Amino acid sequence: MSSEHSAQPLTQLSDDESAFRDAVAEFARGEVLPRVAEMERNAKLDPTLIPKYFELGLMGIQVPEQYGGAGGNLMMVTIAVEEISKIDAAAAIMVDVQNTLVLYPLLTYATEAQKAKYLPQLTSSVVGAYALSEADSGSDAFALSTRAELRDGTWYLTGRKLWITNGAEAGIFIVFATTDPSKGYKGITAFIVERGFDGFRVGKKEDKLGIRASSTCELILDNVPVPATNVLGPVGQGYKVAIETLNEGRIGIGAQMIGNAQGALDVTVAYVKERKQFGRALREFQGIQFQLAQVATELEAARLMVYNATRLKDAGQDVAVVGAMAKLFASQVCERVTSLAVELFGGAGYTKDYPVEKFYRDAKIGAIYEGTSNMQLQTIAKALLK
């Protein structure tokens, strides 16, 4: 990975946001960059990196200070995820999931007792995960087979969850299960499940194309007893918890994609300044200049969409559609930018000796998780044609 400071976005940030961005960028270059190659080879996040996330306050950005958080907003989350993704999207997704998929639903739906118990853990030392997907429940998010049965005041969860980000490292999980199958999606409930609960275990870790250092795991729930006090939100309202959480989570994926694309563009710009063909640097060929100008323009447009969705969410607005648009477009742009980066590196770009092949592989997941591109298009079309 390049250690060059990436081009600064044209998008306006406040002084505090700019200072935060610079601090995270410095952290990413100093702490994440030296670990990238080994993490990629091992397909595992360096465990010594995780405490550093907590020390910098990146694992509880929107959590109020009374619970050990930074008392920040979603814009700070977006900036953090973008900056780390410029170096390694796999390292960034842990921060993203912690803030948008785990802490957001707790801040929004948890009781005061739940907040007092779990938020200090999640802001200081414990990684969290969000467990919705199953083998037959991907885009059809609420076709859940995981069941929750209430017996003598305790819920018992049985089922399997797949593709759970942070699964290998997490100690606290937001798990969705069906409490009443006859009610369809209105029978789904969210639960706070601790790793140490009886009958709960982490299964297979997936061997992935991209974001390889980020763990993606199967969860197995075998009659797991969960106290009634660990129900998150009202019983039967889990679908609402899931949807609202994913609306924020998609902004985080958008931030990951623009960061990954910027990282690829940065190293490519540096390369074409140095690489010579026909006695001239690649930067002198108009064809190269125009291709770079085009993707730089698209990337700035994607950044504007992600930042706009972030600002609207921070202002309390509904971001279902603008968040879908931002994730959709950012993932599309990221694929185009990283593909061009590989091409401009030529044969070297197709090897692991240079960073662009990793940026390219890390781009593809943006069109898949937290809602495929087709699902984003469906959300947008439904609003458009309502």
- Residues 199 and 97 both lie in one domain: no
CA dist., res. 250 & res. 233, Å (int): 21
The pLDDT of residue 139 = 83
Long-range pairs, 4-13, Cβ under 8 A, ≥24: 4/266, 4/267, 4/270, 5/29, 6/86, 6/262, 6/263, 6/266, 7/262, 7/265, 7/266, 7/269, 9/300, 9/303, 10/300, 11/300, 11/303, 11/304, 11/307, 13/79
Tens-digit pLDDT profile for residues 204-219: 999 999 999 999 999 9
Tens-digit pLDDT profile for residues 166-221: 999 999 999 999 999 999 999 999 999 999 999 999 999 999 999 999 999 999 99
Tens-digit pLDDT profile for residues 44-61: 999 999 999 999 999 999
The overall average pLDDT reported for the chain is 95
CA dist., res. 92 & res. 263, Å (int): 13
CA dist., res. 130 & res. 99, Å (int): 11
Token pair of 256, please? 């990951």
Task: Please indicate whether residue 31 is annotated as part of the active site.
Answer: no
- Residues 148 and 233 both lie in one domain: yes
CA dist., res. 317 & res. 154, Å (int): 36
User: What is the domain extent for residue 262?
Assistant: 240-384
- Residues 248 and 189 both lie in one domain: no
The pLDDT of residue 8 = 53
For the chain, what is the domain count?
A: 3
Tens-digit pLDDT profile for residues 347-366: 999 999 999 999 999 999 99
End-to-end CA distance of the chain: 46
- Residues 112 and 144 both lie in one domain: no
- Residues 121 and 141 both lie in one domain: no
SS3 133: coil
**Residue 276's pLDDT band (cuts 50, 70, 90):** confident
Q: What sign for the dihedral angle of Cα 293, 298, 302, 308? A: positive
- Residues 267 and 367 both lie in one domain: yes
**Residue 6's pLDDT band (cuts 50, 70, 90):** low
Query: 319 lies in a domain?
Result: yes
- Residues 257 and 336 both lie in one domain: yes
